[in-house]
Structure 1
C-alpha cells in the first residue's frame, strides 16, 4: 500500500510493484536500453536508478511530478494492444520482460514511472513458424534464429538473476503475474488514480 505523502509528490510505495516493459538490446544481449531515451539499464542483478537529464525543470529527484523522468513500465493487468502484438511474434533486438519497481512512484492509468527498478522475468516469444516457410532452408534459418535468441535470453536472465516465462513450454504470462502478487489491482488503481471526466466540447457559435 502507498504511504501518505504530500499530494504534490509522487506516491511512495511500501514494497515493490510489478510492471511490464520492453527494451532494445544489442546482438549479443549484453545490454538493455530504454526504447524511448536510450538510457542503459543494469544487467547484473542490481537495480537501475532513475536520473532526470532535463535541465529546464530544475534539479529534482526522479520521477518528478511535473516531468517525464523515471523508469517506465506498463501495469501488467492492462498493457496496450501493441505490446501484446510484440509478445506474440519475434522482433530483432527487442526484449520484453517484467520489472519490480520501488521508491518514488508516479502512477498513471496505463503505467508508472519509478525511481528504482530491475528485471525479474523475461518473456520468450511464441515461436510460430511464419506461414509459407515450407522450404527446408527457410525452416533451418528459422530454427537457428530461435536457438540463438533463446540461448542469449537465457544468458541475460542468468546475469540479471531473473526468470524466463516461456509460452512455448506452457508458461502463461497472466498466471505468472497473478502468482507474483505485486501487480496493482484494477480496483486499487482506480482508487489511487481516479479517471478524469471527459472534457465537454464547447458549442460552436452560429
Structure 2
C-alpha cells in the first residue's frame, strides 16, 4: 500500500491546487493563532472550497477546548482533528464526544518518553492514528527537526511520521520507518506558510518512490 501523505499548514488557494495536483491525500489547516501558518475561519472557508472529494481535510488544534473546536466545525467541514498540544487521553475523548469527529494525537518524541505507553493510552482513548513529531522545548510542530527514525515503532495503529521531512530525505524516511503516512509542512515551503509547488511535486515523487520498494 502506498504511504499516505499530508501537506500541512496551507494558507493559500494556489498551494491547495499544487498539493492536489501532486497527489496529496490530505490537506492540513492550522487553527492555532501563534503559528505562522495559522488560518482564520474566513480563509479556511475559502481554502476548503478548492479541496475535492477523497482528499481529507485535517484541522490542527493545540490545546483547544471542545467548544472552540466545535465553533470552527460549524463553519469549516473538517474530516478529522489533529490534536497537537498537551491534550490528555481523557481530554481527547471529551473532544471527540462533543465534536463527533475522528481524531489523532500528535506526540513529540522526547528523550525520556515511554513512547509505546503513550501511544497505548491514546489508542485506548479512541485515536484513529498517532503522529510522531520531533520534540522542541517551545514549538508545537513545524520545527524542521527530525527524531531518530530507527526508534519508529511498528504497532497495530496507523503511525504518521512528521518532523524534518523534505524532498531530499522522504524516500529514506519511508524505507526506515515504514510509516502509514507522512506529514510535511516546512519542508515544502519557500517561506513560513508559503508552499513551493516544485518542492511539493518533488516531495510527492519521493513518497511514490519510497512506497514502491
| TM score, norm. by length of structure 2 | 0.25
More helix by share: 2
More strand by share: 1
User: Which is greater in Rg?
Assistant: 1
